[in-house]
């Protein structure tokens, strides 16, 4: 059985503890690899390596850092099929999705930030202040310097995609990195380290420590030599990180959970809205933080949209994630499936109507290899009180609830009535309404007549309990650098 390793100071090493965690293929339930069960001592080594590499890496001219990241992107591209397969086995996502989204987006993340540092513009102010006998003149300009060792912690739903989304801007701006990928899905981070070495990333610039959140994860958060932390994961853990990092006065970016509304007005292109709502609800088995998990639809068109959604669920190709034809694979673990199933049970108990799904996929519908896998049917639930737990808490699985409204104000009120504020989608043909509603929705990202159409230059992140700070474009370059004002008297 394959044993993954940590990557510290340019070397692949076993964990100091000699302990290992099983890595499960969720589509079969079988253990197929082992990953380091690291602890604080591995983090200590990794942070020392990153700190030692920082002076030289931060002094490398930006075009050379950029070249290394472009080379890494090229290596990801030439290994695309291997990475897509690894991501599919590790997470349960359809290989077609990994080929179409996870791997291309990981490559794009690297290329985007490798290019962005070459084009980043500075800030300059001509100062002209009245003074005795005339004026005092100066030039004020801002230098942006890398901050040191960045601790990057990522979840299991988009492992390589979210890891590269953080690594690329951190390294491009001259920081060194200690990354802690999810212990549930460590494989592509491990493969990335081999490619990083091949790309010529100097030892210590990128370090990866595998293991549990409360072990190397917590040690990284609390480490005094890691001034910058970028975390994507649950709101519960994000809150703990904010508290711990706050005490240490670290700079923190938190990308957390969501309960995203998907609003369909009665003037929308309903076929497009229903198709997109299905994609928004069930892509990656509903395990994308941006998933539209609350469908909020005008009463006059609700039946039509819900019927179309149920029809989509009836025809979607559920199966072995490694089958090219599969559209809908396994949840990421059996534990997670039980949480999702528990929320659907709660919905039933609260009087919700399960329009479709609401159960594990019958083994007879799956190939024999997948009999022990974590497969749950795409599920649509109507008739719940918008204030109930199922409507308020993130499920992070293939479950969409439906609410109806009569007026635009009601739609906005329903959309905003959760503690989260990550993404919102609205479908309408009325341009004025689109602008009005987009401005009124509590969300870091609003999509109008589309979903998950991403431009890497835009600010990305959530409000309320969905996070603190923004990633993407100039926001990420600012996050990973320290501004220094220089005032030069003329």
Q: Which residues bind ligand NAD (CB under 6 A)?
A: 153-157, 180, 182-183, 212-214, 217-218, 221, 232-234, 237, 240, 255-258, 289, 394, 396, 422, 462, 467
Is residue 255 part of the annotated active site? The answer reads yes
Q: Catalytic: which of 289, 291, 313, 370?
A: 289
Nearest approach, Cβ of 105 to ligand NAD (angstroms)? 12
Task: Tell me the residue nearest to ligand NAD as measured from the CB.
Answer: 213
Shortest gap between Cβ of 383 and ligand NAD (angstroms)?
A: 25
65 vs 180 by CB, closer to ligand NAD: 180
CB 324 within 8 Å of CB 391: no
Q: Smallest gap, in angstroms, from Cβ of residue 470 to ligand NAD?
A: 10
- Give every CB contact of residue 27 below 8 A, 6+ residues apart in sequence: 89, 92, 320, 321, 322, 329, 330, 369, 370, 373, 374, 375
What minimum distance in Å lies between the beta carbon of 98 and ligand NAD?
16
SS3 string, 91-113, reads: HCCCHHHHHHHHHHHHHHHHHHH
Q: Which is nearer to ligand NAD, 214 or 409 (CB)?
A: 214
Q: Looking at beta carbons only, is 317 or 389 nearer to ligand NAD? A: 389
Judged by beta carbon, residue 79 or residue 244, the one nearer ligand NAD is: 244
Beta carbon of residue 433, minimum distance to ligand NAD (angstroms, whole number):
27
CB of 182 to ligand NAD, least distance (A): 4
> Taking the complex as a whole, how short is the minimal distance between the CB of residue 148 and ligand NAD, in angstroms?
19
Q: Are 465 and 442 in contact (CB under 8 A)?
A: no
Which residue's CB is nearer to ligand NAD, number 15 or number 233? 233
3-state SS, the chain, equals: CEECCEEECCEEECCCCCCEEEEEECCCCEEEEEEECCCHHHHHHHHHHHHHHHHHHHHCCHHHHHHHHHHHHHHHHHCHHHHHHHHHHHHCCCHHHHHHHHHHHHHHHHHHHHHHHHHCCCCEEEEEEEECCEEEEEEEEEEEEECCEEEEECCCCCHHHHHHHHHHHHHHCCCEEEEECCCCCCHHHHHHHHHHHHHCCCCCCEEECCCCHHHHHHHHHHCCCCCEEEEECCHHHHHHHHHHHHHCCCEEEEECCCCEEEEECCCCCHHHHHHHHHHHHHHHHHCCCCCEEEEEEEHHHHHHHHHHHHHHHHHCCECCCCCCCCCECCCCCHHHHHHHHHHHHHHHHCCCEEEECCCECCHHHCCHHHCCCCCECCEEEECCCCCCHHHHCCCCCCEEEEEEECCHHHHHHHHHCCCEECEEEEECCCHHHHHHHHHHCCCCEEEECCCCCCCCCCCECCEECCEECCECHHHHHHHCEEEEEEEEEC
Q: How far is the CB of 327 from ligand NAD (least distance, A)?
A: 21
Q: Which is nearer to ligand NAD, 153 or 414 (CB)?
A: 153
Options 25, 87, 183, 255, the catalytic residue: 255
Nearest by Cα to 56 from 193, 205, 170: 205
Closer residue to ligand NAD, CB minimum distance, 217 or 321? 217
Judged by CB, which is closer to ligand NAD: 212, or 360?
212
What residues act catalytically? 255, 289
């Amino acid at each position: 059985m394959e044993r993954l390793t940590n990557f510290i100071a340019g070397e692949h090493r076993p964990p100091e503890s000699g302990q290992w965690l099983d890595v499960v293929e969720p589509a079969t339930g079988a253990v197929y690899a082992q990953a380091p069960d690291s602890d604080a001592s591995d983090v200590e080594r990794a942070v020392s390596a990153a700190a030692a590499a920082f002076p030289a890496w931060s002094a490398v001219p930006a075009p050379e850092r950029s070249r290394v990241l472009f080379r890494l992107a090229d290596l990801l591209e030439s290994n695309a099929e291997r990475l897509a397969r690894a991501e599919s086995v590790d997470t349960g996502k359809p290989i077609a999705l990994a080929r179409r989204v996870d791997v291309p987006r990981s490559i794009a993340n690297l290329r985007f930030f490798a290019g962005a540092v070459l084009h980043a513009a500075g800030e300059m102010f001509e100062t002209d202040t009245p003074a005795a006998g005339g004026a005092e003149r100066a030039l004020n300009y801002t230098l942006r310097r890398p901050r040191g060792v960045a601790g990057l912690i990522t979840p299991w739903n988009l492992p390589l995609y979210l890891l590269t989304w953080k690594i690329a801007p951190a390294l491009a701006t001259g920081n060194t990195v200690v990354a802690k990928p999810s212990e549930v899905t460590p494989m592509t981070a491990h493969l990335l380290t081999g490619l990083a070495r091949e790309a010529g990333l100097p030892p210590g610039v990128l370090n990866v420590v595998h293991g549990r959140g409360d072990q190397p994860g917590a040690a990284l958060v609390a480490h005094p030599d890691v001034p910058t932390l970028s975390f994507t994961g649950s709101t519960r853990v994000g809150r703990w990180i904010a508290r711990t990092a706050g005490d240490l006065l670290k700079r923190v970016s938190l990308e957390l959970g969501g309960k995203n509304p998907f609003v369909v007005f009665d003037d929308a292109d309903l076929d497009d809205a229903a198709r997109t709502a299905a994609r928004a609800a069930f892509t990656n088995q509903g395990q994308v933080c941006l998933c539209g998990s609350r469908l909020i639809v005008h009463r006059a068109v609700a039946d039509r949209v819900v019927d179309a959604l149920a029809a989509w669920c009836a025809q979607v190709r559920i199966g072995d994630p490694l089958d090219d034809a599969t559209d809908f694979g396994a949840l990421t673990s059996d534990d997670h499936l039980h949480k999702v199933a528990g929320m659907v049970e709660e919905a039933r108990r609260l009087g919700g109507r399960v329009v479709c799904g609401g159960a594990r996929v019958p083994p007879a519908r799956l190939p024999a290899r997948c009999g022990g896998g974590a497969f749950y049917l795409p599920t649509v639930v109507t008739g719940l009180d918008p204030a109930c737990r199922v409507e308020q808490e993130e499920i992070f699985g293939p479950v969409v609830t439906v609410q109806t409204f009569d007026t635009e104000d009601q739609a906005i009120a329903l959309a905003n009535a959760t503690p989260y504020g990550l993404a919102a989608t609205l479908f309408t043909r009325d341009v004025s309404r689109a602008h009005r509603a987009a401005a009124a929705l509590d969300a870091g990202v609003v999509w109008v007549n589309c979903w998950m159409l991403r431009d890497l230059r835009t600010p990305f992140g959530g409000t309320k309990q969905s996070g603190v700070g923004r990633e993407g474009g100039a926001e990420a370059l600012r996050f990973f650098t320290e501004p220094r004002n220089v005032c030069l008297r003329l």
